[in-house]
Structure 1
């Protein structure tokens, strides 16, 4: 009876030491910001967006200059205007400043919407490229280097350059369609 218990315990201990084989974990690191800045579609979108942003900047500068000119005129006229006329000019100036500030906020929101609209097709294509690249190269996962919690990565795991090449190729094929 003791032998049976001892053999059973040995068999259990030996069996516990054998673990099932686990698949190899392969993690790739990509810098999405670099991909967007250095890829053909990213550069194209940045150039288009920069053109629109420059137009908005010119308009904002023009309106700001008009406000400064108006302020200068108010200061020059302040000595010759009556108190009521001064108050009217100040109210008009304050209204124009508020209008300018509102315009700045609206244009910032519009630029953000435009940036999102221009970036959406690239981000969709990039998602597909990353998925295909990961499957083709047998990655368990591909993580953006800027992801919170990523403290250290070995540069040997960086696939950013390969992803840029794949994105450029996919983008050219997408444009042909």
Structure 2
């Protein structure tokens, strides 16, 4: 009799997990695409661009000027005296240091604002993922960019549905 119970328990322990696995569906979402393609994500990116583009443009112009100075020094170095070369190298070094001092706070501020804006979209995006998962009866949703995820079937992608859901619930 105990052997019968053991056999039934063994059979059930094999069948039930397989049955449960068949009923649980899995999907994935590409959060980078949600950030880039949703209306909310595009609005936040445009706001970042508007806020930081003028400063980034100034920094890019200064970087270009420094590169031109370095190229000019490289071309004219054989024709210059040692004192002139040292003076030009000091000038370039000084401009590089000034550029770095100016660029560092802008980069830090940009990173801080990007994180804040990221938090503004993560909440609504998670709600959209939850809504799509419930509507499609998906038991588990993974993020596509998840480290260690080597392969995933494209048919499990719910990113488009999440973007539509997010767009429908945000202004």
Same fold (TM over 0.5): yes
Please identify the structure whose Cα radius of gyration is greater. 1
Moved over 6 A (4+): 68-72, 86-90
Deviation at 1:54, TM superposition (A): 2.1
Q: How many residues align?
A: 161
Structure 1 stretches lacking a partner, 5+ long: 1-6, 173-177
Question: How big is each residue's C-alpha offset from its partner over 1:71-111, in whole Å with a ceiling of 9 and x where there is no partner?
Answer: 88xx9xxx8xxx7xx98887566334312112122211121
CA RMSD of aligned residues (A): 3.3
Greater share of helix residues, 1 or 2? Answer: 2
- The Cα of 1:145 is off from its aligned counterpart by 1.1
Q: How many Å apart are 1:48 and its aligned residue? A: 1.9
Instruction: Show the counterpart of 1:18.
Output: 12
| Equivalent position of 1:107 in the other structure | 106
The corresponding residue for 1:147 is: 146
- Tell me the CA shift for residue 133 of structure 1: 2.5
How far apart are 1:120 and its partner, in Å? 1.8
Q: Which sections of structure 2, spanning at least 5 residues, go unmatched?
A: none
Distance 1:106 1:8 in 2: 74
Alignment of 1:112-123 (within 5 A): 112-123=111-122
Pair 1:118–1:13, CA change in 2 (3 A): closer
